Amino acid sequence: MVKGKKELQTFGNTVGARSFPNAAEVKIKDIIGEAIIVKDAAFKEMQYGEVAILLFEYPDNDGAEFSVLVGGEVVRRKVKEAIAKNLLPLTGTIVHDEVYYDIA
């Protein structure tokens, strides 16, 4: 450490570690219209509001897990409801109609 400089902290220590560190991250635009199996989710408050980090896999996959960040209110609400009712895992498809994201 350079004398006179404060020790730098990590993102994990200050704003939280990734919710699903062993899952490969994908962008939401890459899974729109694709069937996925949502296995779990975490919710975090970010600069512009709450986001959901979904842990999912593809139905025809070898069990590899992925994560995706979703800010859409409808998706967050539906996933929270599924968690509250202990329904996960659930199969769904994220759709986007130019304004809103949904999961069906």
- On average, the pLDDT of the chain sits at 87
Residue 10 within a domain: no
Place of tokens 């404060």: 6
Total count of domains within the chain:
1
Residue 78 within a domain: yes
Residue 2 within a domain: no
Q: Residue 34 corresponds to which tokens in the numbers above?
A: 């694709």
**The domain containing residue 82 runs over which residues?**
19-103
Residue 84 within a domain: yes
- Strand, coil or helix: what is 58? coil
Residue 1 within a domain: no
Q: Residue 80 corresponds to which tokens in the numbers above?
A: 């929270």
Q: Quick one: pLDDT at residue 3?
A: 60
Q: Higher pLDDT residue, 75 or 1? A: 75
Global pTM value: 0.80
Encode pLDDT of 34-74 as tens digits. Answer: 999 999 999 988 888 899 999 999 999 888 999 999 999 99
